[in-house]
Amino acid sequence: MSAWVYLLRCADGSLYTGWTVDLDRRLARHAAGTASAYTRSRRPVELALAMPMADHTAARREEARIKALSRAEKLALVAASPPRARRRRAAPR
């Protein structure tokens, strides 16, 4: 796996979708408030779903597909994912 698509559950209950090639580093940046203006003001964030992708092109396509979903569809995607795809709270290092 060389890329990831992920969904974060923010402190205000909103969902954030992104992609990365280094999931642990990206989660640490979200937790520190340096990854995204959106998540900076909605911390703490918790990883709701992480999906491995073959490459960054596939990850960007899947990110766009997920962003086009409704909130209910995103929540259904998280609920339908295997438990191992749901990881942990993004904690600052």
Q: What integer pLDDT is reported at residue 28 of this predicted model?
A: 96
**Which of 33, 53, 42 lies closest to 12 in space, CA to CA?**
42
Q: Is 11 domain-assigned?
A: yes
Residue 92 lies in a domain: no
- Residue 84's pLDDT is 61
The answer as to whether 69 is a domain residue is: yes
Q: What is the pLDDT of residue 78?
A: 94
Closest CA to 31 of 43, 15, 20, 21: 43
Confidence at residue 86, expressed as pLDDT on a 0 to 100 scale: 54
Domain that holds residue 28: 3-85
Position 88 pLDDT exceeds 80 = no
Residue 20 included in any domain: yes
Collapsed DSSP state (helix, strand, coil) of residue 76: helix
On whether residue 91 sits in a domain, the answer given is no
Q: Is the pLDDT of residue 93 over 60?
A: no
- What is the count of structural domains for the chain? 1
Predicted confidence (pLDDT) per residue in 4-63, tens digit: 999 999 999 999 999 999 999 999 999 999 999 999 999 999 999 999 999 999 999 999
Longest dimension (CA), the chain: 33
Q: What is the dihedral of CA 84, 90, 92, 93, to 10 degrees?
A: 20
Looking up residue 80, the CATH number of its domain turns out to be: 3.40.1440.10
